[in-house]
Chain A
Amino acid sequence: MMRLDPLSVSDSTTDIKAGDPLDGYATRSRTSPIRRLLLLLAPVIGVVGFLAIWQLSIVVFDIKKFVLPSPWNILGGIEADPMFYVRNARTTVWESFLGFTIAFLLAMLGATIMALSKFAERAILPLAVLLQVTPLIAYAPAIVIWQGFGLKPILIMTSLVCFVPFLINGVLGLRSVDPNLLELARSVDASRREEFFRLRLPSALPSLFSAGRIAVGLALIGSVLGEFFSGSTGGLGYSVKTAQAHSLTLQLWGSVFVLAFVGAAATMLIIGLERVTLQWHSSQRP
């Protein structure tokens, strides 16, 4: 299960979580094969059902294509120029990936210091909360003014927005190590390095994966917003912005669909990685 921490505002992975059989209800025993199949298909039924209702509403209420296109039209728009979306998605994914990674590395450094020093934790935590509660969209222009146009401000925004979930869950995870295990390590005079790498880091993995799932969505928000503000000439955020400027409704929605797909795929990737890595953990058991 995803660990929800009070400091994380993002809930962007919940829609994808429905497809996550870790939730337990999909693996209950003594269900008939038909019911099992139904539960397995439930996520697909949910998404397709939603799109079908959307499609139907467009027809029933006769909504104009340039106001709100139907899903079928949007998918058609993507199909008309797939390379346009692939090219822009590649830019945004790369920015998100870099920001995500930078945030992870810096947050691990911070979390390590905070986990080892109560003083550091108390000193850094308020800053982390401030960073978390300040809307990125408000300080994004300030970053562009300070750093100028280009990739740099985008990466700064993306890593800032991913940083806090990794930091908070990192501290939580590094602290979550069984005190009996720490005592055992001390009974044979293990070094602090051994204690960290052999006990604390593995204990932190479940929390870090939770943070990763949250950060995937945040990274996309960060890079799209970055593209809005930093004069980009590529990326799905740039595509959305130009679509708005030229009233290209289909391109706007196409970009949104591709963003949703990219986010879902990245989350699936993390869930898969989590399942392989954390076979031992209680969250991975039926």
Chain B
Amino acid sequence: MTHPTTDAPSPVGTNEPLVSISGVSKLFSRRGRTVEALRDVDLTIGDGEFVSLLGPSGCGKSTLLRIIGGLQTADRGTVSVGGGDVQHARAAKQYGLVPQAPALLPWKTVADNVRFLTSLHRRGGSEQVMNDAEIQELLVTVGLAGFERSYPHELSGGMQQRVSLVRAFAVGAPILLMDEPFAALDEITRADMRYLLLDLWSRTNATVVFVTHSVTEAAILSDRVVVMAARPGRVAAERTIELPRPRTPEMEDEPDFHEQVRRLRADLREHHA
């Protein structure tokens, strides 16, 4: 087993740690066989940081995201969010979740769907949620103005995923958890969505934990990329992405960007079982 290599311990553009993960392990049992989904994961995520969890399938990146969000519990180790535990953070609506599928309510309009998470468990985190004007602004930003009264089945896959993004931002949560949100989209739509996401994020102070298996996606979006390896799922390397913000599509053609991608690819190769 290889040990994690870390090239930059202090992340860019952050003040204090918001999420602290230490010694987290998780086992899954499937048909009598035990799979080590995560082994001894240590990770600190700074307030306002955009962190990607990058790795092949089976490296436990989604499991780690779900543990951070309190949707799964670790077998060993601790996770703290803003100094408290994850269940408290969840109860205080500190998370905005973007799942892989858009997962919209088919019986509700776009306007109602973007308010779905806000309307659940109203007492938790009620002062942070976006008001109607702010939500409308987000809808305009993602190009959904005029579709407020449409139903999900009337929208394309990309448009549905944009609704899902706005829904997560509308919670006004300090932490956004994104589980391969663009994986099901076609390449062209996916490229647009990345910059749309950065645009939305730049309007907030939110911290983003973004799970992906795309090296270029991780590189163009993130402040820092956590490279994970499988069997057992673990953190293999952490790379700070030294590209200025705001990120633009033109940057993807520059040598600096290619250098970041090359380093991430090397990390992935080195730790691939």
Contacts and interface: CB of A to CB of B under 8 A. Distances in A.
Contacts of A183: 71, 97, 99
A108 to B, nearest CB: 18
A44 interface: no
A191 interface: yes
Contacts of B153: 280, 282, 285
A187 B151 contact: no
A194 interface: yes
A203 to B, nearest CB: 9
Interface of A is mostly: helix
A57 B1 CA distance: 86
Given A194-B121, A280-B153, A187 B103 contact: no
Interface in A267-285: 278-282, 285
Interface size class on chain A is 20 to 34
A281 B106 CA distance: 7
B166 interface: no
A187 B69 contact: yes
B137 to A, nearest CB: 22
B92 to A, nearest CB: 8
Given A280-B107, A281-B106, A188 B95 contact: yes
Contacts of B71: 183, 186-187
B117 interface: yes
A186 B101 CA distance: 16
Nearest to B91: A189
A85 B103 CA distance: 51
Contact of B117 (A184, A205, A282, A285): A184
Interface string A132-175: 00000000000000000000000000000000000000000000
Given A194-B120, A198-B120, A281-B106, A187 B101 contact: no
Contacts of B195: none
Contact of B120 (A178, A190, A280): A190
Contact of A181 (B105, B121, B151, B171): B105
Interface of B: 69-71, 90-91, 93, 95-97, 99-101, 103, 105-108, 116-117, 120-121, 124, 151-153, 171, 177
